[in-house]
Amino acid sequence: MSRYDLTDFEWRVIEPLLPNKPRGVPRVDDRRVLNGIFWVLRSGAPWRDLPERYGPRTTCYNRFVRWRKAGAWDRMMDAITAAHDGNIQMIDSTSVRAHQQAATAKRGIEIIVSVAPEAGSPPKSMRSSMRRGSRSA
């Protein structure tokens, strides 16, 4: 069992939610395909790098797309959340990452955020570079 594979508990929750097509060609093992999909999503690798133990990459990709269009992923997520009694926490890694130079910011710089519509527009007039009261008569 790979670190990206479903646990038995997760599989028991998800299995009844998968779209079922009883007629035609027998389907490839849904658990194996689902583990392959999760491997690609969690590792960030392209579909072409999917290990052979998960089956053909085209099968995994096509099933991922079909299930997305059918809304199966939303049903799975709702069921897993309900099965874990709402004690599930997720965080998107993009909200955690910072640029490598973010830790070396200069001290004392104050960042002011404005929501005024004109905040992003260029100034309408320029301040005079001459100091007041320094004009000769």
**Residue at 105 is within a domain:** no
pLDDT of residue 126: 57
**Residue at 112 is within a domain:** no
* pTM listed for this prediction: 0.58
Residues 6+ apart with CB under 8 A from 18: 30, 34, 67, 72
> Average pLDDT of the chain?
75
**CA–CA gap between residue 52 and residue 59 (Å, rounded):** 12
Q: What is the pLDDT of residues 19-53, one digit of tens each?
A: 877 777 777 888 999 999 999 988 889 999 999 99
| Structural domain boundaries enclosing 39 | 8-19+28-88
Q: Into how many domains does the chain fold?
A: 1
**Residue at 134 is within a domain:** no
**Residue at 12 is within a domain:** yes
**Residue at 63 is within a domain:** yes
DSSP state of 29: P
**Residue at 83 is within a domain:** yes
Q: What is the pLDDT of residues 6-21, one digit of tens each?
A: 888 888 878 888 887 7
